[in-house]
Amino acid sequence: MTAPLHEAHPAGPGRALPDTQQGMRRRNLARVMHTVSAEGPLSRAAVASRIGLTRAAVSTLVDELIRSGLLEELGPERPGRVGRPGSALAVPGRGPAGLGAEIGVDHLAVCAVDLRGEVRARAVRHGTNRARSPEPVVAELTELIRRVVAEGEREGLTPVGLAVAVPGLVARDARTVVRAPNLGWQDVDLSVLLPQEFPLLVDNEANFGSLAELWLGDGTPRDFLHVSAEIGIGGAVVVDGRLLRGVRGFAGELGHVPVRPDGPECVCGGRGCLEQYAGEEAVLRAAGLEPDGDRVGLLSGRAAEGDEDVRRALRDAGEALGIALTGAVNLLDPEGVVLGGALAGLAPWLLPSLETELARRTAGPACPVSVSRLGSEGPLLGAAHSVVRAVLDDPAAVAAGA
């Protein structure tokens, strides 16, 4: 293991760094990385004033980060500035990169994100994974990973970790898919099936989607509920900028909150769960359409044309979402709700009934509902960025392994 993994990693260095001189140095290296990453290019003096350390102290930290290839100097700043000219520091577009992967019910995707947060390589394969055993699916994913790694290497990128989003419950070991009902998988240890050379982090796709929203979204609050849909419904709770995981790591299963206790049976063993009303297939069925191909495109296209059956099905889905979210909002009092995944593309037809239910049923003032601009890209980006964030959070660990 060379690279650290993000705080999302339940067993990993989300724990605070030790309160020793060494711990202090690592924390300061992280502060320099985060500052340059968020605001760079910056001179050493500018970094020093941002983080409140002396220029000499910052120079020592910067030199270490440059030696490790985690920062680069862009050359002298343009003349005319006050004070001694300094060289601007930036996060390089070469060197460590995060690999993100997604196992979807209908697709596989892999991407590489550099330390600047840019997607530099990507590969996608469409085709159903439902009722396929894990081995051939992961073999195909591995092929995509190899392709993305090769493409990244040609651009000077070195993957330092692999994060995989799955549509199911993941154990707190961050490796084992405990249950993915829409794939038909149970107790699958992905670490033995995936390439061994990268530190691995497996998590629920809704969790990665919510982290992407937190890190990449436009003005996303630090306390919010994230709800997304594909075949199933994914939910995640972010409290003060951190995912709420629960004892076993299963928190946020909004899709299995009962909306109508006497409703249809659900894959989870319950009845009348939200997923039975607001999952993509449920909405298609309710609209009398065949679930085939581009489901969101089909629904949004028909709704835009004024198809009354589709509009009614989406109104009902919005109402079910409103009822389920009411429980969560009353319980947790978040700053907002973010609709992601397929729900983002269907928001114009879901929102009116959703917001009506939420306003009618919540105890306090209505909780604002916003629409993700990441849409169905969220989980893949959240996965890759969680590896990148881990580098920014503890650059010393990467330097030591370099």
- The single residue listed with the structure tokens 């995060």 is 98
Q: Applying CB under 5 A, does 273 fall inside the site for Zn ion?
A: yes
Residue 266 within binding range of Zn ion, rule CB under 5 A: yes
Grouping H, G, I as helix, E, B as strand and the rest as coil, residue 296 is: helix
Per CB under 5 A, 279 contacts Zn ion: no
Q: Which C-beta is closer to Zn ion: that of 261 or that of 365? A: 261
Could you tell me the strand order of the sheet in which 369-371 lies? 242-243, 233-239, 224-229, 336-341, 369-371
Instruction: Find tokens 């930036």 and name the residue.
Output: 90
Residue 380 CB, nearest distance to Zn ion (Å)?
25
Name the residue nearer to Zn ion (CB basis): 83 or 261.
261
From 183, 5, 9, select the one nearest 102 (Cα to Cα).
183
Rounded to whole angstroms, the Cα distance separating 224 from 394 reads 26
Nearest approach in angstroms of CB 15 to Zn ion is: 33
- The H or E element that residue 113 is part of is strand 107-114
In the three-class reduction of DSSP (H, G, I as helix; E, B as strand; rest coil), residue 141 is classed as: helix
230 vs 355, beta carbon nearer Zn ion: 230
Min separation Cβ 230 and Zn ion, Å: 15
# binding residues, Zn ion (CB under 5 A)? 5
Identify the bridge partners of residue 203 per DSSP, sorted by sequence position.
165
Q: Which is nearer to Zn ion, 169 or 268 (CB)?
A: 268
Evaluate whether 169 touches 181 at the Cβ level (below 8 Å). no
**Measured at the alpha carbon of residue 104, what is the angle toward residues 157 and 351, in degrees to the nearest 5?**
110
Region binding Zn ion by CB under 5 A among candidate stretches 50-58, 81-89, 269-277, 351-359: 269-277
Count of positions (residues) in the chain: 402
**Closest approach of Zn ion to the CB of residue 194, in Å:** 28
Asked if 169 is part of the footprint of Zn ion (rule: CB under 5 A), the reply reads: no
Give the nearer residue to Zn ion in terms of CB position, either 40 or 168: 168
Query: CB of 140: closest distance to Zn ion in angstroms?
Result: 28
- Give the one residue of 13, 93, 221, 270 binding Zn ion; rule: CB under 5 A: 270
Q: CB 128 → Zn ion: shortest distance, Å?
A: 21
Place of tokens 């997923």: 275
CA-CA-CA-CA torsion sign (287, 291, 295, 297): negative
We find the least distance from the C-beta atom of residue 334 to Zn ion, in angstroms, to be 22
Q: Produce one character per residue of 284-293: b if its CB has 16 or more CB atoms within 10 Å, e if not.
A: bebbebeeee
Interacting residue with Zn ion among 256, 302, 385, 389 (CB under 5 A):
256
- The span from the CA of 280 to the CA of 231, in Å, is 5
The smaller minimum CB distance to Zn ion, of residues 160 and 273, is found at 273
Write the CA distances from 81 to 86, 88, 212, 214, 253, integer angstroms. Answer: 10, 12, 37, 35, 54
Min. distance of Cβ 257 from Zn ion in angstroms? 8
Task: Choose between 182 and 370: whose C-beta lies nearer to Zn ion.
Answer: 182
Is residue 263 a contact point for Zn ion (CB under 5 A)?
A: no
By beta-carbon proximity to Zn ion, the closer residue of 95 and 181 is 181
**How near is the Cβ of 277 to Zn ion at its closest, in Å?**
11
**Nearer to Zn ion (CB atom), residue 161 or residue 181:** 181
Stretch that binds Zn ion, among 28-36, 76-84, 144-152, 267-275 (CB under 5 A): 267-275
Q: Which residue has the tokens 């941002």?
A: 50
**Which residues contact Zn ion by CB under 5 A?**
256, 266, 268, 270, 273
